[in-house]
Amino acid sequence: MQDNRCATAEEVALLRERVARVEGGHDHLRDGLDTLSRQFSDLRRDLTQAVAENAARTRHEIMSRVDEMGRDAQSRDAEVSDRLARIEGGIRLANWATLACIALATGLLGWAQIGDAVWKVLLSLAGMSS
């Protein structure tokens, strides 16, 4: 059989002291975990905000560069169009000048042939009357 022994007041006081220390340590650990949890939440919030800001800044920079590239392309297109228009104008002028020269030469040749024919007729008439 086992003897049931009662704890002395000193033993009870010692036990209470140990329990109080364990409970105090538990409370301390819980406070530390709560603090860590808050710090982790703050860190997650700050990181999320920083990533969102960086993404927005990167999107803005990319869109600015795309807009700039678009403006550059439009400027080059306008410059090329202007050059092509000047070239077309020069070709039209050259075609007109060529056509005018051909028409003038054809007209002169026609009048020369008419003049030559009239001259021959006049010479033949002059030769007949002599």
pLDDT at 21: 82
| AA identity, residue 34 | D
- Tens of pLDDT, residue by residue over 46-105, are 999 999 999 999 999 999 999 999 999 999 999 999 999 999 999 999 999 999 999 999
Q: DSSP label at 55?
A: H
pLDDT at 83: 94
| pLDDT of the residue at 3 | 73
Q: Which residues contact 15 (CB under 8 A, 6 or more apart)?
A: 7
User: Domain coordinates of the chain in residue numbers?
Assistant: 8-93
- Quote the pLDDT of residue 1: 55
5-60 tens-digit pLDDT: 787 888 888 888 888 888 888 888 888 899 999 999 999 999 999 999 999 999 99
This prediction has a pTM of 0.49
Distance CA 16, CA 21 (A): 9
pLDDT value, residue 24: 81
Q: Which pLDDT does position 112 carry in this prediction?
A: 87
